[in-house]
Structure 1
Amino acid sequence: MNNLFDKFKTKEPKFNEEFRTSLFDRLSRKFGGAESTREDYGKHFSNNYELYVYAFFLGLYNNQYEPIPDQAKKVDFSFAIQNWGSKGTRIGRKDFTGIQEYIFSALIAKTDIDLLALEKGLISEEEAVKLLLTTMESFTNGGLMLIKEQLEENPNLLLQPTGFLQLIESQIN
């Protein structure tokens, strides 16, 4: 079980393709490409995984566990969790290692994994990671649904400097 986090962070979590154009293309920079070659055009997130993280926590804190429907096409942005926020050679870039650990901790708390059975080898680390990813994708899907609903109700919500904070505040309670 010592390697569960290490195995988890090598994965590329998925999301419903429906949100690619309705949210990811609209709110974050293009998929792929070097950061220096991307164009902002009013985008709120530098990278797609930043929107993914925001949606995950929005879904988590609002208990919006919404599994991606079986008939939906699942996609990812071909970027493993361990690379989210990696500093690399970019000046001024924050390291997301702490956020990766917070996500993992939340998933351990919210996922029904028998940790004793895992420790005894009765379930594999791969099975446990699969359960963690399902939980992550479901809370993220719930968060993406909340964002989409709020933008449909108020298309100008995120044009305000505190729009994302207002979105969180409006959903809590």
Structure 2
Amino acid sequence: MNSQEFRSNLLLKRPRYAKSRIPVLDAFSEKGSKTVDYSRFGPYYEIYIYAMMLGIKNKKRLPLPPRDLTKDFIEIGKWKRDSSLVDFLLMVIFTKTDELAIDWNELEDLEESELSNVISKVVSLIEEYSNGGLEYLEELWEKGELDSSHYMFIDLYKDVKKN
């Protein structure tokens, strides 16, 4: 598998989220209810992306519940089409070489099954950091500690606790 095939296979993956996170996703998503308590940020996957960044910043990885308690998104490659955002997000995850347990210099020498395993690890990191970020967001939301602002996630990212 060459680098283009690796990227293409990764972009076809559909990360999952816990069904228990739907209320917090609805609270900040255009897909949510019509009453607006907070600024809306578009579809679920946009909140998921923000949550992933919060999870990374807060060093909070939280495994997903069993598969029957999760739902999946559209493919990663369809997030913000024609945007470099997906590449940026993947590069952020790719910097987590210790957590991925890979050496990028050895990638081209891996067998196809090993490359598939790397892709699975990348998707798992996305899911776990997003789930950790969603939990953080949900805790603040339930305590009433969020400001309704178009800059809410930027402010949260700046103010996130340093572990």
**TM-score of the two chains, using structure 1 as the length reference:** 0.77
User: Cα distance, 1:69 vs. partner?
Assistant: 3.3
Shift in alpha-carbon separation, 1:109–1:83, aligned structure 2, 3 A = same
Instruction: Work out the percentage of aligned pairs sharing the same amino acid.
Output: 23
Select which of 142, 159, 163 maps to 2:132: 142
Select which of 62, 67, 88 maps to 1:102: 88
Which residue of structure 1 aligns with residue 159 of structure 2? 170
Select which of 34, 41, 45 maps to 1:45: 41
User: 1:116 & 1:101 partners in 2: Cα distance?
Assistant: 19
Q: Which has the higher helix share?
A: 2
User: What are the residue-to-residue correspondences of 1:57-136 with 2, within 5 Å?
Assistant: 57-70=53-66, 73-77=69-73, 79-86=74-81, 95=82, 97-110=83-96, 111-115=100-104, 118-122=107-111, 123-136=113-126
Deviations 1:39-87 (A, max 9, x none): 854351111111011001111111111111347712123x11111122x
**TM-score of the two chains, using structure 2 as the length reference:** 0.81
Give unpaired runs (5+ residues) of structure 1. Answer: 32-38, 87-94
Asked whether the equivalents of residues 150 and 167 of structure 1 are also in contact (C-alpha less than 8 Å), the reply is: no
Shift in alpha-carbon separation, 1:72–1:18, aligned structure 2, 3 A = farther
Letter in 2 for 1:80: E
Partner-residue secondary structure (3-state), 1:25: helix
| Alignment RMSD (CA, Å) | 2.4
Asked whether the equivalents of residues 80 and 86 of structure 2 are also in contact (C-alpha less than 8 Å), the reply is: no
Give unpaired runs (5+ residues) of structure 2. Answer: none
Higher RCO (Cα < 8 Å, 6 or more apart):
2
